[in-house]
Chains A and B, each alone.
Chain A
Amino acid sequence: MAVKGRAIQVQDKVILEAGNLQGLLGTLSRKGFNLVGPTVRDGAIVYDELSSAADLPAGYVDEQDAAIYRIKKGKSAALFGYVVGPRSWKHYLWPPQLALWSAKRDGKGIQYRKDSAKPPKYAFIGARSCELAAIAIQDRVFLEGKYVDPDYKARRDNVFIVAVNCGRAAGTCFCVSMKTGPKATSGFDVALTEILDGGHRFLAEAGTKRGADVLSAITTRKAGAEDEKAADRAVAKAKGQMGRKLDTKGIKELLYANLENPRWEEVGKRCLTCTNCTLVCPTCFCMTVEDTTDLTGEALRTRRWDSCFTLGHSYMAGGGSLRSSNKARYRQWLTHKLASWQDQFGTSGCVGCGRCITWCPAGIDITEEVAAIRSSQTPGKAKPSREGR
Chain B
Amino acid sequence: MKKPDKQIIACMPPRPFVIKSKQRDTVDTFTLELEPKDRKPFEWAPGQFNMLYAYSMGESAISISGDPTKKGPLVHTMRAVGTVTKAIDALKVGDEIGLRGPFGTAWPMKEIEGKDVAIVTGGIGLPPLRPAIYHILANREKYGRVALLYGARTPADLMYPKEVAAWRSRFDMDVQVSVDAPAEGWSGKVGVVTKLIAPAQLAPAKTVALVCGPEIMIHFAMLTLKDNGLDSRNIYVSMERNMKCAVGLCGHCQWGPTFICKDGPVFRYDQVESFFKVREL
Contacts and interface: CB of A to CB of B under 8 A. Distances in A.
B11 interface: yes
21 contacts: A105-B55, A109-B18, A110-B96, A112-B14, A144-B1, A145-B3, A145-B4, A146-B4, A146-B6, A147-B9, A147-B247, A147-B249, A285-B251, A286-B250, A288-B244, A301-B13, A313-B242, A314-B241, A314-B242, A317-B60, A317-B85
B96 to A, nearest CB: 5
Interface in A255-281: 259-260
B11 A259 contact: no
B251 A114 contact: no
A29 B3 CA distance: 34
A292 B7 CA distance: 30
Interface in A74-112: 100-101, 103, 105, 109-110, 112
Contacts of B241: 314, 316, 322
Interface stretch (A57-65, A206-214, A223-231, A324-332): A324-332
A140 B1 contact: yes
Interface of A: 100-101, 103, 105, 109-110, 112-114, 140-142, 144-151, 259-260, 285-289, 291-293, 299, 301, 303, 306, 308, 313-318, 322-325, 327-328, 332, 336, 339-340, 343-347
A345 B16 contact: no
Contact of B16 (A110, A145, A324): A110
Given A109-B96, A259-B278, A287-B250, A148 B10 contact: yes
A237 B12 CA distance: 48
B7 A291 contact: no
A289 B249 contact: no
Interface SS of A by simple majority: mixed
A318 B81 contact: yes
Contacts of A112: 13-14, 16, 98
A30 to B, nearest CB: 33
B82 A318 contact: yes
Given A322-B241, A344-B257, A286 B251 contact: yes
B1 A147 contact: no
Contacts of A313: 242, 251-252
Which 10 residue pairs across A and B have the least CB separation, nearest first? Answer: A317-B82, A286-B251, A328-B280, A112-B13, A346-B1, A343-B257, A299-B56, A340-B257, A147-B247, A318-B81
A291 B241 CA distance: 20
B240 A306 contact: no
B248 A145 contact: yes
A259 B250 contact: no
Nearest to B250: A287
A141 B244 contact: no
Centre residue among B3, B248, B257, B259 by max chain A CB count within 10 A:
B257
A45 to B, nearest CB: 28
A146 B244 contact: no
A100 to B, nearest CB: 5
Contacts of B256: 340
A92 B248 CA distance: 21
Given A103-B13, A146-B247, A286-B251, A292 B56 contact: yes
A308 B251 contact: yes
A339 B254 CA distance: 13
B8 interface: yes
Interface in B1-30: 1, 3-4, 6-14, 16, 18
A149 to B, nearest CB: 6
A332 B250 contact: no
A104 B231 CA distance: 52
A144 B1 CA distance: 8
Contacts of A148: 7-10
Contacts of B6: 146
Contacts of B18: 109
Nearest to B13: A112
A131 to B, nearest CB: 21
A347 B36 CA distance: 40
A150 B10 contact: yes
Contacts of B279: 328
Contacts of A327: 280
A146 B9 CA distance: 9
A149 B262 contact: no
B58 interface: yes
Q: Which of B18, B56, B98 has the most CB of A within 10 A?
A: B56
A231 to B, nearest CB: 33
B106 to A, nearest CB: 15
Interface in B212-252: 240-242, 244-245, 247-252
B79 interface: yes
A344 B1 CA distance: 8
B200 interface: no
Nearest to B81: A318
Nearest to B12: A114
Nearest to A324: B280
B138 interface: no
Contact of A146 (B8, B251, B254, B281): B8
Given A103-B13, A289-B244, A147 B58 contact: no
Contact of B56 (A103, A259, A308, A317): A103
A159 to B, nearest CB: 19
B56 A291 contact: yes
Given A150-B10, A308-B254, 20 more contacts: A101-B12, A110-B16, A113-B13, A145-B1, A145-B7, A146-B8, A146-B247, A146-B262, A147-B247, A148-B9, A285-B251, A286-B252, A287-B249, A289-B59, A289-B244, A306-B244, A308-B251, A313-B242, A317-B84, A344-B257
A144 B280 CA distance: 30
Given A144-B3, A291-B56, A291-B57, A325 B250 contact: no
B142 interface: no
